[in-house]
Amino acid sequence: MKMNPLKSLISIEEAHKIIGNSIKPISEVEYIDILELEGRVSAEDIISPMDVPPFRRASMDGFAIKSSDTFNASAENPILLECIDIIQAGDVPKKEIKSGECVQIATGAMVPNSADSVIQVELTELINGKVQIISPIAPGTNISKAGIDLKKGEIVVRKGDVFTPGKIGALASINKTSVLVYKKPRVAIIPTGNEIAKLGSSLKEGQVYDINTYTIATLVKKNGGNPIIFDIIPDEIQKIESAILKGLEYDIILLSGGSSVGERDLNIKIIQKYGKVLFHGVQIKPGKPTLYGLIKDKPILNLPGYPTSCLTNSYIFLVPIIRKLGNLPPERPRTIQAKLSKKIVSRLGRHQIYTVRLENGYAIPVFKESGAITSIAWADGYIEIPYNVDLLEKDEIVNVYLF
């Protein structure tokens, strides 16, 4: 086999820029039920077909009154109103009030047209069966106008908005039960390698179980993608080629392994044959040999084969790709500050991803080697050591990106 060391590595920033310029958010749409919308992206401007609330309602429990009846009210000059009805939420007012009258009203209930204020129950007293008021009430007090929440014709949710519980509530308020959203990106995950065994099979000598398919598929789902898992393809160029061509039916193709020098260079040859390589080799550790290209405008990302390199590079490169494909905004990572439990020596010129466990405010390095999945499985998150830093001191405060 030929072994050509990777010579020119690009920076992470360059890699992100190349990826960003090459990814087009998917435009396919589908209707989704309101109860399944969380985290999905609206593909339509949603306009309110009605006023919400559709009627004037009381925003407090109390008495609907004519405010002018109270303008001269004071402790010395209390006014007494006759209560002529009770309106519960959901009721339609049956009686209108005249000056000197009021109706008892519950929060959320429709206010009679003849009333212009609601005085809250705490400010009244019942005196000989009449409602006593001892201070003036301004017109409009404790009344929510029709359309205060949403006016007919107003935009409720904009195209591109991500559905939160609150936005879903706004849809419910206008009886919108089904919404046009962008489809989830379909992600072809193609495991390759003679040394990789399918879960559930028995290991042959020299083989290890397929880890990357499961870590990648999980991360894809967590970021709004839909993983399609291919059978494991042996290291034979025709078989990999035909799997990749089949993968073009989907929105992106993911390979892991086979991008290092010496690994027969099968994947890169196939990408060069049908499309173009956009980068090969990134100044990142672990995970240098990451390879990225396009075949017929479909992105193809070849992650390193080693499980921890594969997964850390998935956090760094794959997550933004899947989110952009899916019309989702960039992730807002959860971070926490911690003290480093021991000195870490890094290498200038490589952006290092270092997995850590959190304990009592300390970030404890747990990195064993990039081949060991426990380097990341037993970590709570990772720290980043930039190109130009070669040493982090014990007790230094670091930013931990949580998994």
Q: Considering Cα of 394, then 396, then 402, then 403, what sign does the dihedral take?
A: negative
Q: E strand or H helix at 324, and its extent?
A: helix 319-325
Residue 361: partners with Cβ closer than 8 Å, 6 or more residues away: 338, 339
Beta strand 351-359 with 284-285 is parallel
Min dist. Cβ of residue 286 to a copy of itself (A): 11
How far is 302 from 309, CA to CA, in rounded Å? 12
Smallest gap, in angstroms, from Cβ of residue 393 to a copy of itself? 26
> Under rule CB under 8 A, how many of the chain's residues touch a copy of itself?
101
Q: How far is the CB of 88 from a copy of itself (least distance, A)?
A: 7
Look at residue 269 and give its three-state secondary structure. Answer: helix
Closest separation between CB of residue 58 and a copy of itself, Å?
Answer: 10
- Kind and range of the H or E run holding 228: strand 226-229
Binding test (CB under 8 A) with a copy of itself, winner from 76, 77, 165, 296:
165
Provide, rounded to whole angstroms, the least separation between the CB of residue 111 and a copy of itself: 10
Tell me which residue has tokens 């980043």.
Answer: 384
Which position among 11, 67, 132, 374 is part of the footprint of a copy of itself (CB under 8 A)? 374
**Is the distance from CB of 61 to CB of 105 less than 8 angstroms?**
yes
If binding is defined by CB under 8 A, does position 129 make contact with a copy of itself? no
DSSP 8-state assignment for residue 317: I
Beta strand 155-157 with 46-47 is: antiparallel
Considering only residues 41, 156, 268, 328, which one is a binding residue for a copy of itself as defined by CB under 8 A?
156
CB neighbour list of residue 301: distance below 8 Å, 6 or more residues apart: 252, 253, 254, 255, 290, 291, 292, 317, 318, 321
172 contacts a copy of itself (rule: CB under 8 A): yes
263 binds a copy of itself (CB under 8 A): yes
Quote the least distance from Cβ 106 to a copy of itself, whole Å: 6
Q: Does 196 bind a copy of itself (CB under 8 A)?
A: yes
Tokens linked to 122: 């705490």
387 makes contact with a copy of itself (CB under 8 A): no
Site for a copy of itself in 35-64 (CB under 8 A): 35, 37-39, 52-55, 57, 59, 61
Question: Is 271 near a copy of itself (CB under 8 A)?
Answer: no
Which of 174, 179, 252, 316 is in the footprint of a copy of itself by CB under 8 A? Answer: 174
3-state secondary structure of 375: helix
Contact flag: residue 102 with a copy of itself (CB under 8 A):
no
| Stretch 300-329 residues interacting with a copy of itself (CB under 8 A) | 305-307, 311, 314
